Amino acid sequence: MRFPFCLYHQLLHTLLSIAYSMHYICRLNYKKGEIVELEIHDFAFGGKGIHRMQTEQGNYIIFVLNALPGQVVKAKIQKKRKRYAEARLVAVLKRSELEETQVFQSISGAPYITLPIKQQQTFKTAAVMDLFQKFAAIENPVALYDEFINSPNTFHYRNKMEYSFSVIRHDLNSDQEKDDFGLGFKRTGTWWKVENLDSDSGMFDEQLENELHKIRLWLQETKLPAWHPPKKEGFFRHLVVRKSFSENELLINLVTSSEGIDQFNKIAFKDYLIELLGNRLAGYIHTVNDDVADRAKLDNGPSGLIWGKDRINENILGLNFEISMQSFFQTNPKSAEKLYSKVIEYATESSNLEGQVIMDLFCGTGTIGQIIASQIPTAQVIGVDIVESAISNAKKNAKKNGLNGINWFAADVGKFLSEHPNYKGRIDTIILDPPRAGIAPKTLQKVIALGANRLIYVSCNPATQARDIAVLTSNGYELVKFSLVDQFPHTGHIESIGAFKKITLELDENSSNFMP
């Protein structure tokens, strides 16, 4: 008896369907730590490439940090959920057609340097629009979009760089791990091994990075060992360099342990740095850090100035700022000028701030507050930040710039607002510039309770800003407009500045909700 063709076709279709389903079931059965090969299809906020897999339940997404659309990559699964997984980039197997060849040495801190800057900006803008629509509940964020502010310098824009030593080096030619004396950047996804920086990365100072291999060889000849991260032992740990763009100077901090410090000739190293950098060397500091924690602040520990000065100067919009090795300061000062100018524009475009109270929260070294005070002398500026050293620097810089009318407070922002209720109803404008984690919910409620007419919210993390926008909107503040600032070209980071105005809320008689 011959098998009916229609039944054969139906059986074949069923078997193929089962095989197709099993194929994806197997592919979805990833384990943490597994290395997989993926094609990247799209770009998400924070520099995450997206790999989409079609399943019977819909799209399954794998996010791969620092991967680009069009690349085929090896990635290590780090987290797995029902509808998505997160992975880290291990290696690029095939480059994207969007990429271009660069003359700079590739480093983990500039994953998109081969991507044309306009394409980077397109990806970043689209990712923020998607965030604001999904998490800030803004139906059409494009309608509120003001402008994309480019970094004046897309290469060599950083004013600080931290290089790591390790006896475990990843060789870029052989793609193998070696026992050696390494100085450069941690290899992507590792904390124990470095890749030597032998030439300019395109991100920091061209001369310094082209000479860094000479510094490495000089230190290696001392016979003192580089740090061994797994064993938590060794001598050389980090080389931290700050740069002044306005004075074209470099401040260098060599961070070591105390193990064998008596055998290290600090003066000879000073002489070598002067020979190498000439009058560009502003100063040389030596810090002893015996903290075994790899993620601890690099320059924790006692520091001594060996030669020169312990700080550099930078000029922002006509104001001078002294920057010590420990100070927080904008990493891209030329772009920061544009960011601050946009903040001032938003703060002043809808009202006259003469004589008004302006509060600069999370003020750091007080750059924004000082710029406002210099441009609007009669404004009453209040600066608040939890870091005492930052407030100390803010006071010194303000005095240096002849701005004596600013009130500075070293305090937790939330506690400060609770302890100073006298400002409630008196503040015209609040400038918010919180850390990447955004504003703590209780602190944000205290900010809202102050009743300022306007808020200018500067964020280095639009994801947390989107969350806070939703809270502000439900509590009587309307987002009027926002701009994006490309402070960090060739990375997944982008800054956002939002201008909010206070609106009148009325209580809905049929519920406990406030309605605009």
The catalytic residues are 460
CA dihedral 473, 479, 483, 488 (to 10 degrees): -20
**Sign of the C-alpha dihedral, residues 366, 371, 372, 376?**
positive
Secondary structure (DSSP) of 212-235: HHHHHHHHHTTTPPBPBTTTTB-S
Amino acid at 372: I
Angle between helices 333-348 and 367-375 (to 10 degrees): 50
Nearest to 208 by CA among 217, 198, 222, 219: 198
- Distance between CA 387 and CA 409 in Å, rounded? 10
Q: CA distances (Å), 322 to each of 159, 283, 325, 328, in order?
A: 13, 14, 10, 11
Q: For residues 487 and 158, is the Cβ–Cβ distance under 8 A?
A: no
Q: For residues 299 and 238, is the Cβ–Cβ distance under 8 A?
A: yes
| DSSP for residue 278 | G
Q: For residues 169 and 182, is the Cβ–Cβ distance under 8 A?
A: yes
The tokens describing 216, both together, are 């490495």
> Which residues are CB-contacts of 300 (< 8 A; sequence separation ≥ 6)?
287, 289, 291
Give the DSSP H or E segment for 180: strand 176-186
Give the DSSP H or E segment for 323: strand 319-324
Q: CA distances (Å), 148 to each of 371, 483, 484, 501, in order?
A: 22, 6, 5, 21
Looking up tokens 């059986």 gives: 11
Secondary structure (DSSP) of 151-177: -S-SSS--SEEEEEEEEEEEETTTTEE
Q: For residues 428 and 405, is the Cβ–Cβ distance under 8 A?
A: no
Looking up tokens 């470099």 gives: 250
**Sign of the C-alpha dihedral, residues 175, 35, 42, 108?**
negative
Per the document, the length of the chain is 516
Looking up tokens 């193998």 gives: 176
Phi then psi dihedrals of residue 53, to 5 deg: -120, 125
- Distance between CA 260 and CA 249 in Å, rounded? 30
